[in-house]
Amino acid sequence: MTAGTAAASTHQARFDAAMAADERIEPRDWMPDDYRASLVRQMAQHAHSEIIGMQPEANWITRAPSLRRKAILMAKVQDEAGHGLYLYSATETLGVGRDELLDKLHSGRQKYSSIFNYPTLTWADVGAIGWLVDGAAITNQVPLCRCSYGPYARAMVRICKEESFHQRQGYELLLALSQGTPAQHEMAQDAVDRWWWPSLMMFGPPDDASAHSAQSMAWKIKRHSNDELRQRFVDICVPQAEALGLTLPDPDLRWNEERGHHDFGAIDWDEFWQVLKGNGPCNEQRITQRRKAHEDGAWVREAAAAHAAKRASGRPGAPHESTASDGSGRESDEAQVEATA
């Protein structure tokens, strides 16, 4: 055995031991190339989904029916931008730059969740997205708080807290519509009818057709299988739909005493693969809009880079990094006064 292969096997043994002991892997730890690549793929796809997911709902900000609803929706859409930022930052700890990831998104080489390729046709869709889409996201993401890669797990803790608010605002919005006029009730039901099945698809293909699932579970990136999480989501939603006074569009949905779970109808996987391949109702619109937003934001990135360069040059009068621990910026102001005095 050469010195190189001996070192590699020691690294691998340490990594395996950390996995077995349920310890976190941190950015400076050695990790297998495949583990790193798998994390980059999943985290990038997750980050992309957060920022693409801003589009269908932002579509309704100008048409929110009240100031209160508008303020809530704006806060939610901003949260999603923040989730994208946490996740791009977490992915950077694996040695992949944000530019590279965005470039892959814009050129179709990396994917985002297929759910965001469906249109938001009415105001009730904002409620259905909050209740079902954010609800499915929480079901998927709570276990990721225990993911083996430290920066991803820590990003998920904060994201899940915010997703929980998103889910509740959607539920509350749908409840108001469901208990409103007959036309409002009908609008809520129509939105749930359209979003229910795509939400179930968010958990990914069935376990036996899921390419990355088994390895991701062995690496403790994923903690539960797609089908397991989908079942959990269905079981959570059924009583909530009842409380909302809305029906889930599945004639096969019923409680199975023996299994202790709800049985549900067959998912149209053909539709899922079609949307994933780019043939969903809004794929083209979403990417075109994303590219335009990126191009329109070029001046902001240039200004930020120029500002950072100026700060790094340490010229008198250049803004200094804050050293204030209370976040007030006071100490930094004093430092600047001293520097320019």
Which positions lie near Fe ion, rule CB under 5 A? 50, 80, 83, 134, 163, 166
Beta strands of the chain (E only): which ranges? Answer: 254-256, 261-263
- Identify any residues that bridge with 262 across adjacent strands, giving them in sequence order: 255
31/229 with CB nearer Fe ion: 229
Nearer to Fe ion, 160 or 287 (CB): 160
Reference 193, options 115, 124, 262; nearest CA is 124
Q: How far is the CB of 138 from Fe ion (least distance, A)?
A: 8
Burial of residue 242 (CB within 10 Å: 0-12, 13-18, 19+) is: exposed
Q: Residue count of the chain, please give it.
A: 341
Q: Which is nearer to Fe ion, 18 or 114 (CB)?
A: 114
Sign of the torsion angle spanned by Cα atoms 266, 271, 273, 276 = negative
Pick 25 or 101: Cβ nearer Fe ion: 101
Q: How far is the CB of 174 from Fe ion (least distance, A)?
A: 15
How many other CB atoms are there within 10 angstroms of residue 18's CB atom? 18
CB atoms < 10 A from the CB of 172, how many? 13
Specify the residue, 15 or 127, whose C-beta has the smaller distance to Fe ion. Answer: 127
**Residues with Cβ within 8 Å of residue 7, at least 6 apart in sequence:** none
State the minimum distance, in angstroms, from the CB of residue 199 to Fe ion. Answer: 13
Residue 117 or 250: the one with the smaller Cβ distance to Fe ion is 117
Nearer to Fe ion, 57 or 250 (CB): 57
Helix, strand, or coil (residue 315): coil
Minimum gap (Å) between residue 245 Cβ and Fe ion: 24
Nearer to Fe ion, 80 or 125 (CB): 80
Q: How far apart are CA 94 and CA 43, in angstroms?
A: 10
CB of 64 to Fe ion, least distance (A): 17
CB of 152 to Fe ion, least distance (A): 14
Angle at 44 between CA 39 and CA 233, to 5 degrees: 80
Residue 206 phi, psi (nearest 5) = -55, 155
Q: Which is nearer to Fe ion, 83 or 230 (CB)?
A: 83
CA 26 – CA 228 distance, rounded (Å): 28
**Residue 5 C-beta: closest distance to Fe ion, Å:** 43
Q: Least distance to Fe ion from the beta carbon of 240, Å?
A: 17
Q: Other CB atoms closer than 10 Å to residue 7's CB: what's the count?
A: 12
Nearest-angstrom CA–CA distance, 305 and 311? 10
Within 10 Å of residue 29's Cβ, how many Cβ atoms? 14
Q: Shortest approach of Fe ion to residue 54 CB, angstroms?
A: 9
Contacts of residue 244, Cβ cutoff 8 Å, sequence gap at least 6: 131, 171, 174, 175, 178, 188
